Amino acid sequence: MNNKKCLKAQILSALLLTLALLITACGGKKPAENETLPPAESSTASVTAAPETTPAESTPAPVRLSFSEKDIHTGDLILVNSSYPFDFEANEATLDIKNIRENQSFYYQVDKLEFSVAGRILPHLDAMIAACDEAIGTKETGITSAYRTKEYQQGVMEEITAAYGEDYAKKYVAAPGYSEHHTGLAVDVGIFYPDGSQGSFSESQNAVWMRNNCQHFGFVRRYAEDKTAITGISNEAWHFRYVGMPHAFYMTAHNLCLEEYIDFLRAGTSEDEPLTVTCDDGTYDIFFTAEMEIEEPEGMYTVSGNNVDGLIVTVKRK
Ligand SMILES: [Zn+2]
């Protein structure tokens, strides 16, 4: 009897010890807030395996980013031309138009006091104009056109048609709704003399400097002579468009207009095989996706629509 009692006591104490171990294993480490508790069976299993290194605890679920149709039509890389109009409704909330004269970081001339651009490009525009003036040794670089509403573009079209005729207007002026100036990301640059008169930007040294250096500030010369068949707009030495630095670098280095660059990204890049671009402020991985849900990239990233059929993701390497 005594032996049997002793055996029972031993079994009981072994059971109690197992139970104590189980309680310690499950309660010793509190799960993180976003972590779900494993089911009861795997808790038992974690008694033998070290609970701290179970896969469920070391690999947090990746964050998914969701986009909508509206996102295809907003962002720094939207293509706006005679085939792809600017989506005023989609951009209403994010346009963030700022008056140049009231917000410029130093004084340079604007043709009209109401001229504005998207607020996020203003520091880049300021820096480009300052660097151009410094390189040329004058203070003559200014702005002859900037953000335009649909009504304003209609007025420009009528004005140019009346002055130069319909054929000329069609070559240089986009139809209302189809102008890059609606985006707030485009400016026309001019020469302003101290007496208030204006010179020809196309024939100035400033035009040469800006064509060769705009990419360092995230801008591209949008309408080049050799791209008129693609852009549908005649050679414009004065029109610059903000797209962001890595994109401006690649487009300039490979002589691609925005139409070509958008096509190139769609055909030649994916999340697994991005385009890698090194520019002044670092190295970026860039890819196109038609998916409206993507895994959140690690580190700093931006997502822009292309205004055609998908999104362009730009990730800065650490
Ligand atoms: Zn323009």
Is 132 part of a structural domain of the chain? Answer: yes
Residues serving a catalytic function are: 236
What's the CA dihedral at 87, 92, 96, 100 to 10 degrees? Answer: 60
Instruction: HSE, CB side, 13 Å, CA atoms: give it for residue 52.
Output: 2
Is 247 part of a structural domain of the chain? Answer: no
Last residue of a domain, one of 30, 61, 92: 61
- Which residue has 């310690």 as its token pair? 24
Residue 62 confidence (pLDDT): 86
- Which residue has 């690690």 as its token pair? 298
Is 223 part of a structural domain of the chain? Answer: yes
Regarding whether 236 and 265 lie in a shared domain, the answer is no
Regarding whether 282 and 222 lie in a shared domain, the answer is no
Regarding whether 96 and 141 lie in a shared domain, the answer is yes
Is 101 part of a structural domain of the chain? Answer: yes
Regarding whether 91 and 227 lie in a shared domain, the answer is yes
Regarding whether 219 and 177 lie in a shared domain, the answer is yes
- Strand 282-289 and strand 275-279: the pairing is antiparallel
Regarding whether 307 and 228 lie in a shared domain, the answer is no
Q: Kindly give the distance from the C-alpha atom of residue 181 to the centroid of ligand 1, in angstroms, as a whole number.
A: 6
Strand, coil or helix: 118: strand
Regarding whether 313 and 268 lie in a shared domain, the answer is yes
Q: Kindly give the distance from the C-alpha atom of residue 138 to the centroid of ligand 1, in angstroms, as a whole number.
A: 23
Q: What is the number of residues in the chain?
A: 318
Is 66 part of a structural domain of the chain? Answer: no
* Closest C-alpha among 137, 93, 124, 82 to residue 245: 124
Instruction: HSE, CB side, 13 Å, CA atoms: give it for residue 309.
Output: 8
Residue 40 confidence (pLDDT): 34
Q: Kindly give the distance from the C-alpha atom of residue 187 to the centroid of ligand 1, in angstroms, as a whole number.
A: 6
Is 262 part of a structural domain of the chain? Answer: yes
What values do phi and psi take at 128, rounded to 5?
-65, -45
Query: In one letter, which amino acid is 311?
Result: L
Residue 120 confidence (pLDDT): 97
Last residue of a domain, one of 211, 242, 273: 242
Q: Kindly give the distance from the C-alpha atom of residue 27 to the centroid of ligand 1, in angstroms, as a whole number.
A: 66
Regarding whether 175 and 90 lie in a shared domain, the answer is yes
Q: Kindly give the distance from the C-alpha atom of residue 52 to the centroid of ligand 1, in angstroms, as a whole number.
A: 60
Regarding whether 188 and 237 lie in a shared domain, the answer is yes
CATH number, domain at 265?
3.30.200.180
pTM over 0.85: no
Q: Kindly give the distance from the C-alpha atom of residue 241 to the centroid of ligand 1, in angstroms, as a whole number.
A: 9
Is 249 part of a structural domain of the chain? Answer: no
Whole-angstrom Cα distance, residue 283 to residue 193? 40
- Note down the domain range covering 26: 2-61
132, with CB counted inside 10 A (0-12, 13-18, 19+), is buried
For residue 81, the 8-state DSSP code is S
Regarding whether 202 and 299 lie in a shared domain, the answer is no
Regarding whether 189 and 135 lie in a shared domain, the answer is yes
Regarding whether 263 and 238 lie in a shared domain, the answer is no
Last residue of a domain, one of 192, 207, 242: 242
Whole-angstrom Cα distance, residue 133 to residue 144? 16
Q: How many domains does the chain have?
A: 3
Each of the 318 residues of the chain gets a pLDDT tens digit; together they read 444 444 454 544 444 444 333 333 333 333 333 333 333 333 333 333 334 444 555 677 889 999 999 999 999 999 999 999 999 999 999 999 999 999 999 999 999 999 999 999 999 999 999 999 999 999 999 999 999 999 999 999 999 999 999 999 988 888 999 999 999 999 999 999 988 899 999 999 999 999 999 999 999 999 999 999 999 999 999 999 999 999 999 999 999 999 999 999 999 999 999 999 999 999 999 999 999 999 999 999 999 999 999 999 999 999
Is 248 part of a structural domain of the chain? Answer: no
CATH number, domain at 126?
3.30.1380.10
